[in-house]
Amino acid sequence: MRILISADMEGATGVTWPDDVMPGASQWERCRSLFTSDVNAAVRGFHDGGADEVIINEAHSTMRNLLLEQLDDRARMLTGRHKALSMVEGVQHGDVDGIAFVGYHAGAGMEGVLAHTYLANSITGVWLNDVRASEGLLNAHVAAEYGVPVVLVTGDDVACEDALGYAPEALKVAVKDHVSRYAAVCRTPGRTAADIQAAAKEAAALAVRHEPVRGGPFTVAVEFDAEHLAMAATVVPGVDRIGERKVAYTSGTMYEGIRAFKAVTTIVSAAVEEQYG
């Protein structure tokens, strides 16, 4: 049994505001250990449940946040940027039986601690076939195309509620309760590690590959906080304006859809000016 962990940071234990997750910021170094603790708990739990191998795909920002020297020795980690499937890189090779979303969060425009979709700001909403989309929803559709079920989701309570829509059978672990975008009632790392480990052990039984789900076509709509960002996004072929601050494109598969989304967000991030957005 091979498990892939897609590890994001905003939904990690103790994380509540930008400095906790921005590389080089004052609290980031401390929160790297908390993030690594959550991932380690999942690794231990999956092995307790019978996994033969657990591979971690670092999925936050620079994708160089987890502390390799603190990881469980049984794990292997893919670290660094520029990967074909970004947050779920590795799911496409036909050898993954289940995927875990550790440290996930709610999407842009939703309530939730540090809620966003790919870009920390600038994007005010993303919709997949008219359903408001988080990173979890987008990534779950990519995994489904390769027959890989989402078996575990950890994050704040809102992220766990969001996961009910895209992975209803997955185990969910809330490591904190949302109060506002930058505040939460947090559980201690000792408690969250125990909760994640127990859930991962149970979730291992769900790691059974299924027939690939071909659910396309997929229409992705993205709304920005400024008109010029929508204009910038149309540089990507197939992306059209559907409103003053909104664009959309349609892809036959989510493999194509998530790659186009990455292109849109990369172009848009380069169009943001420091003071005016």
pLDDT digits (tens, 9 = 90+) for 50-107: 999 999 999 999 999 999 999 999 999 999 999 999 999 999 999 999 999 999 999 9
Annotated catalytic residue: which of 47, 82, 93, 116?
116
Binding residues for Zn(2+): 8, 10, 60, 105, 135
pLDDT digits (tens, 9 = 90+) for 165-197: 999 999 999 999 999 999 999 999 999 999 999
Does the reported pTM lie above 0.85?
Answer: yes
Could you give the CA distance from residue 46 to residue 204 in angstroms, rounded to a whole number? 6
Phi, psi angles (nearest 5°) of residue 42? -65, -40
Residue 86's alpha-carbon distances to 49, 78, 89, in angstroms, are 27, 11, 5
- Annotated active-site residue 116? The verdict is yes
